[in-house]
Amino acid sequence: MASPVKLPTIHLREGRDRPLQLGHPWVLSGSVARVEGDPEPGAGVDIVDRRGELLGFGDFDPDSQIRVRIHSFGPTRPDPEETWLPARIEAALAWRAAHPSLRDTDALRLIHSEGDGLPGLSVDRYADWLAVRLTTPGMRRRVDRIAEILAGLTQAQGAWLRGETSRQPEGTERELFGSVGCEPVQIRERGRSYWVDLRHGQKTGFYLDQRDARELFRELASGARALDLFSYTGGFAVAALQGGAREVIAVESSKPAHDLLRRNAPEAEAVLGDAAEFLRKDERRFDLIALDPPPFARRKRDVRSACRAYKDLQLWALRRAAPGAHLLAFSCSHHVGPELFRKVALSAALDAGAEVQVLGTLRAPPDHPVTLCHPQGEYLSGLVLRIVTPPVSSHAGSAAVLLDASAN
């Protein structure tokens, strides 16, 4: 039964209702036949098919390719008072609190946008503080309600609203509730401690999505000479020190990240500079390497060049590997997913003339859920590689192996 209040309505084009019926939470601009009722940015809209059947309800965004983010599917609109908002926030917090893999850390993602049925809302907890990101006009419209709900449910001392660099004008960052100091806050994750700048740091201050990979890095670190490439504030470097590495080198090009890394891992050798250049110039061999560059393919058309860049880095990392070394290599571009990334690794190994085993794969931990019908939510792919035989010469190169980037 359709709800009685008439809302602005998005009419889908013929044949474009299938993803929505499967539970995909986006209506792309190309699927829209017409918009009825002149909705404001962020307004709630009904979505109907060609015959006028109500398919779902969501938030309108005229400036995005993703024209509507859907909150509820089917012909019944959620309560206009938005009782679904506190219910979903509460549910997201409750299952995490009970999840066995999310214990032993006071830093985790509490709300993961589409993955928690709350498109446009990300909330991270750092000890007693929260960092909140609102990425759609629909969620920005609800800012006060979200603040009230989070203050009530989390007992956090304060929450910081991060700005949206791309769309929101600068200067919109502010305290959402409570108080958040200017100094970094200290978090504890599985016996490690880190300082996090939740006001200015990358993402919302820390790469929470690498928690499980850090844990593996710690396990592999005993006695190792470890290298943390693209280290940011030293997520992997600290884990290696905790795991008993005999030496840890961390390379990062951002000065604020490098400064915090030195505070997080004073025992590590902190290199401020370009990771690729480091690999070319520093001739030491490492037993354990984390290779976690920024996303090289933000758009689909960048995939080919991204693969070349990932491959080149891996090739050089292999040249710096000791026999039996472990390499944890990551892509955080959705467009370079697990299958393609494996081809990148194969291509690097062949070019380097190295014999490499795959010991496992890595992805973001459970506090970053994705729904089955929203594969776009997957963005982090990691490979756990063991270098059986590294390249003999650090400059050994064979004929370049062609990579079929269209295979994704």
Binding stretches for ligand SAH (CB under 6 A): 202, 207, 210, 230-233, 235-236, 251-254, 257, 274-275, 292-294
Q: Which is nearer to ligand SAH, 9 or 202 (CB)?
A: 202
3-class state of residue 108 by DSSP:
strand
Q: Are 118 and 88 in contact (CB under 8 A)?
A: yes
| Minimum CB distance to ligand SAH, residue 385 (Å) | 16
| Minimum CB distance to ligand SAH, residue 120 (Å) | 23
| Minimum CB distance to ligand SAH, residue 210 (Å) | 4
| Minimum CB distance to ligand SAH, residue 74 (Å) | 39
Choosing from 182, 307, 332, 373, the catalytic residue is 332
| Minimum CB distance to ligand SAH, residue 309 (Å) | 10
Residue of this chain nearest to ligand SAH (CB atom)? 235
Q: Which is nearer to ligand SAH, 10 or 332 (CB)?
A: 332
Please list, in sequence order, all residues whose beta carbon lies within 8 angstroms of the beta carbon of residue 4, skipping any fewer than 6 positions away: none
DSSP structure string for 213-240: HHHHHHHH-TT-EEEEET-TTTHHHHHH
Q: Which is nearer to ligand SAH, 86 or 366 (CB)?
A: 366
| 373 counts as catalytic | no
Structure tokens at 77: 């609109």
Q: Are 130 and 89 in contact (CB under 8 A)?
A: no
Q: Are 396 and 320 in contact (CB under 8 A)?
A: no
Q: Are 352 and 318 in contact (CB under 8 A)?
A: yes
Q: Which is nearer to ligand SAH, 168 or 253 (CB)?
A: 253
Q: Say which residue the tokens 């503080």 belong to.
A: 129
> Which long-range contacts does 173-180 make (Cβ < 8 Å, 24+ apart)?
173/199, 176/130, 176/132, 176/143, 176/146, 176/147, 176/150, 177/147, 177/148, 177/150, 177/151, 178/151, 180/129
Structure tokens at 220: 């592999």
Q: Which is nearer to ligand SAH, 138 or 235 (CB)?
A: 235
| Minimum CB distance to ligand SAH, residue 380 (Å) | 11
Q: Which is nearer to ligand SAH, 289 or 344 (CB)?
A: 289
Residues with active-site annotation: 332
